[in-house]
Structure 1
Amino acid sequence: MLAAGGSAILLLAAFVFQALGYAPCAMCIWQRYPHGVAIAAGALLAVGLSPIGLLVVGASAAATTSAIGVYHTGVERDWWQGPTSCTGSGLDLSNLSGSDLLPSASSGPSTLVMCDEVAWEFLTLSMASWNALWSSALVVLWLVAFAREWQHRQAQSTYSAT
């Protein structure tokens, strides 16, 4: 439950940053989905569904968002190439005029946020980096809960066998 709460806090923080004007890029959005899965797993645990499978789902979701955060951090720091749909290495714009690049009045403002640009950082770490770190800690919490549940089941099966 603590790990699911951690995902809820991280997801809430992402929405707060968005409300403060830090629009998310595509990879930022990708990192949110696994948090939703982890929160759902925690909610199902809270209503008493079988814990073993849900604990695996929660750990997998936290590991997934952490891995996406590491990948995103690498893209931001130019350690490796990111998706061409949201990085500076995308389309060749050399044959377009300035008016081709500007949104028309009817289409409204452009919403493209580049994945290889750091919008905010704290202690030299971007939001993607912080998500990777905190989500890694959540993986540990999910796995500890799994190990405890596994030991509990083993103890029960040993006790009932005697």
Structure 2
Amino acid sequence: MDRLKTARALALLTPALLMAGALGSQYLGGLYPCEMCHWQRWPHYAAIPLALLAILLRGQAIGRLFLALAALAILTSGAIGAFHAGVEYGWWEGLTSCSRVADTGGNVDDMLRNLMTAPVIRCDQAQWTLAGISLAGFNAIFSIGAAFTIFGLMMKARKA
């Protein structure tokens, strides 16, 4: 088993699938993201090209560096997700209370109308849960688990 190949695949698939789920739930499911949801997305957006570079530069030291950076980005998203889940569960207070999602295109009247009709999404209330776990909680579980798995595979490959 090629551990680095598995690690690279996991580094690409984890953020790609989590972002597909997040964007799908937003655009197909009508679950608008709060500000903290967006914070979780940015590290995944960074992890995807880093993982692609790791795949393209496999066999080189720089490829391992990009793989480690992708894993670190995935871990960062998971940490933000854990913080956000804690805010949703009332374990601690968040940094923001809510955000608005509004289309800023068009003329001034269109922008004002979009702003006034945009849903208010609170960061401290989960819009969806499964078995008591929010989307932020699932991001934390999957991202942190994947990041540690990637780092573990890298360490095992190094010893082999």
Indicate the TM-score class for this superposition, using the shorter chain for normalisation: 0.7 to 0.9
- Select 1:145's aligned residue among 124, 149, 153: 153
4+ runs of 1 displaced by more than 3 Å? 104-108
Partner in structure 2 of residue 115 of structure 1:
123
**RMSD (Å), alpha carbons:** 2.1
For residues 5-42 of structure 1, give each alpha carbon's deviation from its aligned partner in whole angstroms, at most 9, with x where no partner exists: 11100010000000110000000011011111111111
Say yes or no: does 1:3 pair with 2:3.
no
Paired positions, count: 137
For residues 89-134 of structure 1, give each alpha carbon's deviation from its aligned partner in whole angstroms, at most 9, with x where no partner exists: xxxxxxxxxxxxxxx6474413431100110001110000000000
Query: Which ranges of structure 1 fall in alignment gaps of 5 or more residues?
Result: 88-103, 153-162
For residues 64-101 of structure 1, give each alpha carbon's deviation from its aligned partner in whole angstroms, at most 9, with x where no partner exists: 011101100111011111123528xxxxxxxxxxxxxx
Shift of residue 43, structure 1, vs aligned partner: 0.6
Instruction: Tell me the TM-score normalized by structure 2.
Output: 0.77
Taking the aligned partners of 1:16 and 1:6, their CA distance within structure 2 comes to 15
Identity of aligned residues (%): 32
Larger Rg: 1
Taking the aligned partners of 1:30 and 1:51, their CA distance within structure 2 comes to 26
- SS of residue matched to 1:16: helix
Partner in structure 1 of residue 135 of structure 2:
127
Partner in structure 2 of residue 55 of structure 1:
67
Higher helix share: 2
Partner in structure 2 of residue 30 of structure 1:
39
